[in-house]
A and B are shown apart, each in its own frame.
Chain A
Amino acid sequence: MVDFLYSIFVFSRGEVILAYTFKGGTHLNEHKNTSKCPVTPISAPELVYIPMSQHIGLHCTPNVKPQDKVYKGQMIGEIDKGLGCPVHASVSGTVREIRSVNNAMGTPVVIENDFEDKISPDIHPFEKTIGETTPEEIVEVVRKAGISGMGGATFPTYAKISSAIGKADKLIVNCAECEPYITANHRLLLEHPEKVIGGIKILLKAFKLRRGIIAIENNKMDAVRAISKLNFDPEMITVCVMKTKYPQGDERQIIYALTGKELPAGKLPADLGCVIFNAETCAAIYNAFVTGMPLVERIVTVDGDCVGRPSNLLCPIGTPFSDLIRFCDGNPESVKTLISGGPMMGFAQWDIDAPVVKGTSAVLAMSRAYERKGHIQQSSCIRCGKCVANCPMHLVPREIYRYALKGDLENCEKFYATSCVECGTCSYNCPARLELTQYIRTAKSKIIEEKRAAAAKKAAFEREQAAKRALNEEKDKDKNQEKEEKTSE
């Protein structure tokens, strides 16, 4: 089934493994300080902030009012039409307010925790066994559970499943976790591999497939062993070990490593017959079926030099980052840079109280000292070619950067700026410390924006022309009629 393999032998702690990999990319300093830290559940704080937009797509509309009582797992925000996931309360208590705060995360519903953990009466395990379920039912359960991609991209999972049904012939579970620091998926596979496997079984049923692949980097061999200890049909699940290299977790690189095919620009993995899910998403699907509990908590790696005790925490959605830092013996006051997600593609937060959302895989709290250490004066490009050699998309970042600096979008496009996946490998490696990724990102979004504007303009022009033509035709008709009338007279 794995038809073409771009694979090499790698040495890993005394073993020689055949590992899948891709062309380009770079091996980062891993900083996996928390790989030995078991996942610790933390109790919900007094107030949780649940943003209405935790996924790609439309914002949810809150269906609760201030002073309403809510249960844990109750739906508090929904979407009538269009792409999006419903949002659920992660604690029981009273809705304190729904404030429109100008926050990157959208409007949050603030719930005051009553610490009783009353679970919503609507929540019950799925009645049927896997054998009897239809794909439509699976999509519906996943949609209702509000599951969106938990690796960070937060694409609504039900939409991914329903769009790939019938097209997918290869199910890949992404457990590469190529970003430094993050170990959430690693710990999940070590502690609850059965949940991931269960989720895969459900997804296989939805796609009517026989076999799924778990793709995992070779710095997590203990997790590979934990999976293989489980009793499951080896025909059903294959574990593919991949070389530890950033960005192995990018779906394009996984597809290339496991199938040898390149995902054409602008196409979805489903167009190649591949469908890729994050390991934690699979576990969330499993939970939604077995307990009926929607997605209200997730594993977050808390690390960084402001944190005294780096840990993996199982925390309710909506917990402010400052609470996580305090729980890990950190001082929120000393934090200078707060990153939600990994250090390569994560987002710097301006608010220490930003809440954990469905896509938060890590919280990294860095001090001013870290920042100073990283801050080195930019110098000129010395054409070392590291950005070209390491670009996983095989672009020439230096050229795009040069043209982006000048604002020459036409040439940026000629060098395929729009193919950039913004993984940050070029900026990471640049010895002159140029902000290559940022400039390419800006150029890319400008090009896309301009194209959209041009298309809209063209459409408007065509509409206008059509209207004019219609008007002229009517006039002609009128004239003709007049003529006819005249002639008939």
Chain B
Amino acid sequence: MNNSPEKQLLTVSPSPHMHSARTTAFVMLDVIIALLPLLIWACYVFGMRALTVTVVSVASCVLFELLYTLLLHKPISVGDLSAVVTGILLAYNLPVNIPLWMPVLGSFFAIVIVKMLFGGIGKNLVNPALAGRAFLMASFAAAMTVPAGIPALAKLGLFENVSNTEILTGATPLASVLIRDQYAGTYRTVLDMFIGNEAGVIGEVSALLILMGFVYLLARKVITWHIPVAFLGTVALLTFLLPGSGFERFDLVYTLSHLCSGGLMLGAVFMATDYVTCPITSKGRLIFGAGCGILTVIIRYFAGTEGVSYAILAMNLLVYYIDKITVPRPYGISKKKTTEKKLKEGAK
């Protein structure tokens, strides 16, 4: 206890003096691991070109983020791997026969416009990958349309390509669910959709593998169950009780076709659960998931097209308000007191 000057003083810091080893990069790595089986499946169904599209998309996402931080002298942030996740998710939303400059353009929109210009990781308002997809969809609808014949026709090599016009057009599984005349849902077709033996964009086809990724993310405590369960549950409930016009009520096959077709599974498990653009409280996440579900069904019924990505984008914009109304009641503070406080504030 001498205060002699030569005595070495120790480092002091505020508690806690211990941290979990889970950093942002670790979390993102877990998401990447959960996403990888989908890529392998896509390579099997669509051919190796799926890999090319994904690599181009990831590389351009990382490159755009790196260039942005270098040019504007910001701290370099690509190490957190979030750009890699964005790249993979963007690629998973594209058809396999897309021209390769399109993922690059989509990456530019996703990373530079949607993410970095809003302040980088944690600050973007909407999911960058989904915004990138919506941008491409709005600009190049024809190239973004999924040709139904793809899995049957072409196992595309690494740099092989085939244009939409060369492929027989027909109804994708989702379209057949949406249009009464083409609907021929049986347990057999549902099983095909569930396993992923169908046409679709690169990452959305196999519901089974997506659900396995969901279980992995839950086990690793990366995401909570709230959003996917609320999202899928709402869609299931609505399609079971209130099917689209011309379909019969209480048709389980119809409900399952809705759940397994299109981007619903991919959106519910990997897109809607994006930390940055979903609410932070569990109650808020339930509301968010249910909202996504309702909007998806409305768009599917009345626009006759896939609505998952637009539903999520729309709900992304409401997150601020959902967070505001779902502040949890703290321990030891009675509900009465909090409402009184709110009333008082209102009076002010």
Contact = CB atoms under 8 A, between A and B. Distances in A.
B18 A428 contact: yes
Contacts of A364: 17
Contacts of B280: 383-385, 388, 396, 398
B22 A429 contact: yes
B32 to A, nearest CB: 15
B275 A385 contact: yes
Given A382-B275, A427-B19, A394 B331 contact: yes
B219 interface: no
Interface stretch (A86-94, A195-203, A257-265, A478-486): A257-265
A361 to B, nearest CB: 14
A337 interface: yes
B212 to A, nearest CB: 22
A474 interface: no
B14 to A, nearest CB: 4
B333 interface: yes
B19 A103 contact: no
A366 B39 CA distance: 44
Contacts of A346: 15, 17
A108 B332 contact: no
Interface in A322-373: 335-339, 343-355, 364, 366, 371
Interface in A384-411: 384-385, 388-389, 392-396, 398-399
Given A354-B1, A431-B22, A252 B332 contact: yes
A337 B9 CA distance: 10
Contacts of A384: 27, 275, 280
A276 to B, nearest CB: 15
Contacts of A110: 1
Interface stretch (A1-9, A162-170, A435-443): A435-443
B275 A345 contact: no
Interface string B1-42: 111000111111111111110111011000000000000000
A431 B19 CA distance: 9
Given A337-B11, A381-B122, A344 B22 contact: no
Interface string B319-348: 000000001111111100000000000000
Interface-centre pick from A110, A385, A394 (highest chain B CB count, 10 A): A385
A62 interface: no
B69 interface: no
Interface string B144-164: 000000000000000000000
A146 interface: no
Contacts of A180: 18
Interface in B255-280: 275-276, 278-280
Nearest to A333: B8
Interface in A437-466: 437-438, 441
Contacts, number: 171
A393 B281 contact: no
B18 A383 contact: no
B77 interface: yes
A347 to B, nearest CB: 7
Given A337-B17, A343-B17, A350 B12 contact: yes
A166 to B, nearest CB: 23
A379 B121 contact: yes
Interface residues of B, number: 47
Contacts of A353: 1-2
Contacts of B17: 337, 339, 343-344, 346, 348, 364, 366, 374
Interface residues of A, number: 73
Contacts of A286: none
Contacts of A20: none
A432 interface: yes
Nearest to A438: B14
A168 B23 CA distance: 45
Contacts of B8: 352
Nearest to B328: A394
B10 A350 contact: yes
B33 to A, nearest CB: 16
Given A382-B276, A385-B280, A388-B280, A343 B16 contact: yes
A337 B19 CA distance: 15
Interface-centre pick from B8, B16, B20 (highest chain A CB count, 10 A): B16
A347 B11 CA distance: 11
B329 A379 contact: no
Contact of A393 (B13, B15, B331, B334): B331
A378 B276 CA distance: 17
A431 B10 contact: no
Given A108-B1, A398-B280, A419-B330, A437 B123 contact: no
A416 B122 contact: no
B1 A385 contact: no
B334 A264 contact: yes
B21 to A, nearest CB: 8
Interface in A416-437: 416, 419, 422, 424, 427-433, 435, 437
B281 A388 contact: yes
Contact of B23 (A28, A376, A419): A376
Given A256-B331, A389-B224, A396-B328, A343 B18 contact: yes
Contacts of A381: 122
A404 to B, nearest CB: 13
A49 interface: yes
A488 interface: no
B120 interface: yes
Contacts of A102: 3
Contact of B122 (A337, A339, A380, A389): A380
Contact of B1 (A103, A379, A399): A103
Interface in B288-345: 327-334
B197 interface: no
A233 to B, nearest CB: 34
B318 to A, nearest CB: 14
A338 B17 CA distance: 10
A349 B119 CA distance: 38
Nearest to A371: B11
A434 to B, nearest CB: 11
Contact of A424 (B16, B26, B82, B276): B16
B235 to A, nearest CB: 23
B80 interface: yes
Contacts of B120: 380
A433 B19 CA distance: 8
Nearest to A424: B16
B122 to A, nearest CB: 4
A101 interface: yes
A415 B11 contact: no
B176 interface: no
A406 to B, nearest CB: 16
A373 B22 CA distance: 13
Contacts of A101: 1, 3
Given A180-B18, A339-B17, A385-B279, 7 more contacts: A262-B331, A264-B334, A343-B18, A344-B16, A348-B13, A350-B12, A385-B280
21 contacts: A263-B332, A264-B332, A265-B332, A337-B13, A348-B11, A348-B12, A348-B13, A351-B1, A353-B2, A354-B1, A374-B18, A379-B24, A383-B276, A385-B282, A388-B282, A396-B281, A398-B280, A399-B327, A422-B15, A433-B19, A441-B14
Interface of B: 1-3, 7-20, 22-24, 26-27, 77, 80, 82, 119-123, 224, 275-276, 278-282, 285, 327-334
* In the complex, the 8 A-B pairs of residues with the closest C-beta atoms, listed nearest first: A424-B16, A380-B122, A385-B280, A343-B18, A348-B12, A438-B14, A265-B332, A393-B331
